[in-house]
Structure 1
């Protein structure tokens, strides 16, 4: 099953002058059964535009999207080129896409290039998210060049090879709905059903069943973002995956100190995509997708709206349950109690007041001891107001006692869900600055570190430290 030419334009990658390999991910290379030595020698030519890999049929995909709440009728892959599909060692199909390989018909006056800085950030974060167990696109490699590219300053060019089972987005449906091209809309839906939702093909209303599953996958994804303190930064509908993957790492950030109003994108002047707003925006984006799929649900517009609304109504309870279950796991709680929401809310409010580091606190909380209500727990050191933590700790200790919790068993369980290592902006920035001086070692070091974020890794203890003061000045935007 493949899509027709209404969904893409054939393009050729533009040559990248004097390309050189910056980093290759041994994990994803191994998944594809690639001989890393042979592949590394051929790679710069393949993704620089000098030579198209055998069997590739490069295309740029068409889509539309709501950007910061405003509908843009045509977007598409402005700097991404899909080479084709490959099978991994387990028989799964992956799309290989070049990001930064030159101008496409959808570049909208852009140069089609990616810069080294943004490419490193996506390469590392997609693999960091995978290490955290969060659905995401994957990364295969980075190739660089000394070609100059202008963004907010002169930078050098790079190309990322990223992988996903599919790069189809909410906006892929929106473009055909708003063009009133319902035949193309159905063709795209049939393609997705056949390739990615085959278990729904025998449903009485397979398109509605597919939308329902997308709603639940999106709720699950965003709950996982919230639980690890990840902020996407550009949750436009063209950056939302139909498969529930984290897609398009432009501006993003993990929380340092807990701040629900954290906005990681300095282009987001109104805070539309603030950390705490991600669940609401997820629902808003699904509403846009629902509108685009209405013709597939029923020939009766009123009936189609009613069907879509019923499925949309499952989003909030699915998100709330996934988040609540995840928070109980972060706190080492095994049972569900009606006061758990108040326990979590009280903790987060106290963390916000004391500007407590989100990741470090939850990791340290594993050492909480019921006997002294956590007074000896190093998690208290994260609080300016230690008395506030101790007040909460007494309630928490009582809650743990209520379910006969055991300190050691709980600590082990908590370390499985509370990462020690995340890709802080400061860590990414250090890797970028070294790479700008042709030292790529920190990229590979972080790639390995972040593949095991829940392990202690005592040799890497410094990577779990509080971010330096200069990290507050790091600015990321839609060019990042």
Structure 2
């Protein structure tokens, strides 16, 4: 056998054509960069259902050369790796130029789900890494891999995770950890910050080119009818963002770092860092240990989203005829968000329609939950059973039993007032919107600690469970249980 036959492949060939529409915008939008190879990459997780949905062969992606490619250690035939430039406001302060400091875009695949970009997060230094090392650690990569799929399972718009690959390469954070790469996919990774970057630098031609690309690709309806197309884009993005915020709030999800550079122009949940699904309900809960001022506390997320949309509106002003167009485009958010939240919370309570008094019914329950620090997910899941009359398991969650009894009487009267009310059907409908399982911090932490010892089975188990969070399945009771006492001491920061 000759040396040529023994040589490793020069690139991974997925036998799929790649497109590079973002690169076609021009060199002002990115810097070409090759991923920095990781030593001894090993597979940790492969999202086989997603791979199949994208038209990729899961078995092919498990082969050694594919594992290397998904770690950034082997080129992928037909790709054009690049890092995009953007700017943004971080914790309410203008941060100037930012960009993909550790994420490298390979390109875009045509899939049965539509065009999808593929990006490697943690693949090495780029021009925009600033003081960073371009790497991601195993700990945070497991959290992103699992949570993006947890959000998808809940029906919440999100980027998705195709694979998780590890390496023994040391990475220094608060301690020395090991490196990992998440291959993630989305229709686009364009953020509010991309628009802010070109607007702040007076690059109106590039700003217009980017806005036209987004409109033509995802918001073609913005060119229909009368009015400024860019103002209509702002309004459409605001509507998607309002719905996303309602979805977050309705499952007790805290993002943790809602900077403008972490806001998707498509209304996706993006950039999973110090996120958390709340355990004990606290409207002022802060999931990010680095957020000392509580800017991104749970109850502030909807207003922060509006603030970020206002920043996007400012960035788009050079493309509008007057400032009022931007203000008018943002105004509907103020009605869309509360309406969407009332609708979703009503569904969680089994309300088939929206009536006067529903918002107050929801709010009074949330106040009771906050006073007694009731577990968010378990409370709503048990309420589904209570729709058939089994109130005791819900009542047991409260210290203020009489106050809960008074609320429950109002709720049950509201249910019975619905035409053709059927307790079993209502319970089934509530169980379809109130998850049994969410990615609690302690579940992720357990998977992380086992993975750090070389056992990746819990990562795979959680991925499967989170794909069907509303189902009652055997062998998963521990995933739906109350968090252990030590969970309240887990601290999650921006370090990753």
Scaled by the length of structure 2, what TM-score is found? 0.93
Question: Which of 94, 110, 129 is the equivalent residue of 1:107?
Answer: 129
Distance of 1:180 and 1:314 partners within structure 2: 28
Equivalent-residue separation in structure 1 for 2:177 and 2:401 (angstroms):
45
Structure 2: distance between partners of 1:100 and 1:376: 48
Deviating beyond 4 angstroms after TM superposition, the runs of 4 or more aligned structure 1 residues are none
Distance, in Å, in 1 between the alignment partners of 2:250 and 2:326 is 28
Deviates more, 1:199-208 or 1:339-348: 199-208
Partner of 1:175: 197
Match of 1:164 in 2: 186
Choose which of 342, 348, 359 in structure 2 pairs with 1:324: 342
Structure 1 match to 2:393: 378
What does 1:207-218 correspond to in 2, within 5 Å?
Answer: 207-218=230-241
* CA drift at 1:195: 1.5
Correspondence for 2:469: 453
Give the alignment's TM-score, normalised by structure 1: 0.96
**SS at 1:241's partner residue?**
coil
1:277 matched residue in structure 2? 300
Q: How does 1:291-306 map to 2 (within 5 A)?
A: 291-298=314-321, 304-306=322-324
CA positional deviation for 1:397: 1.7
CA distance in 1, matches of 2:73, 2:235: 43
Alignment match of 1:98 (pick from 113, 117, 120): 120
Q: 1:308 aligns with which of 320, 323, 326?
A: 326
Query: Which digits, 9 at most, give the CA deviation of each residue in 1:100-119, with x for residues without a partner?
Result: 00000000021000000000
The answer (yes or no) to whether the contact 1:59–1:82 under 8 Å persists in 2 is yes
More displaced stretch, 161-170 vs 201-210: 201-210
Q: What per-residue deviation string (whole Å, max 9, x for no partner) do you get for residues 438-471 of structure 1?
A: 1001011000000001111132112100000000
**CA contact 1:263–1:273 (8 Å) conserved in 2:** yes
Larger mean Cα displacement after TM superposition, 196-205 or 279-288: 196-205
**1:347-377 residue CA offsets vs partner (Å, 9 max, x unmatched):** 111111111101000010012257xxx5744
Tell me, yes or no, if structure 1 residue 362 matches structure 2 residue 380: yes
Does the 8 A contact of 1:147 with 1:156 survive in 2? yes
Pairwise CA distance, 1:422: 0.3
The whole-number CA distance in structure 2 between the counterparts of 1:131 and 1:173 is: 30
| Structure 2 match to 1:352 | 370
1:27 Cα offset (Å): 1.3
Tell me which residue corresponds to 1:250.
Answer: 273
Secondary structure of the 1:459 match is coil
Q: For residues 312 and 144 of structure 1, do their structure 2 counterparts lie closer, same or farther at Cα, with a shift above 3 Å needed?
A: same
Give the one of 143, 146, 150 matched to 1:121.
143
- 2-structure distance, mates of 1:476, 1:324: 30
Q: Name stretches of at least 5 consecutive residues in structure 2 with no aligned partner.
A: 1-20
Shift of 1:87: 1.6
Partner of residue 426, structure 1: 442
Q: Over the residues paired in the alignment, what is the CA RMSD in angstroms?
A: 1.2
Is the counterpart of residue 442 in structure 1 residue 458 in structure 2? yes
Q: CA deviation at 1:285?
A: 0.2
**Paired residues of 1:364 and 1:377 also in contact (CA < 8 A):** no
Q: 2:405 aligns with which of 364, 367, 390?
A: 390
Are 1:147 and 1:157, in contact at CA under 8 Å, matched by a contact in 2?
Answer: yes
Mind listing any 5+ residue stretches in structure 1 that lack a counterpart? Answer: 299-303
Q: Deviations over 1:380-405 (max 9, x none)?
A: 12112222211211111222222243
Aligned residue pairs total: 471
Do the aligned partners of 1:97 and 1:162 also contact (CA within 8 Å) in 2? yes
CA contact (8 A) 1:19 1:45 kept: yes
For 1:146 and 1:96, the matched residues in 2 are separated by 24
1:12 matches 2:30: no
- 2:101–2:126 Cα contact (<8 Å) kept: yes
1:259 equivalenced with 2:275 (yes/no): no
Alignment of 1:60-71 (within 5 A): 60-71=83-94
SS where residue 462 of structure 1 aligns?
Answer: helix
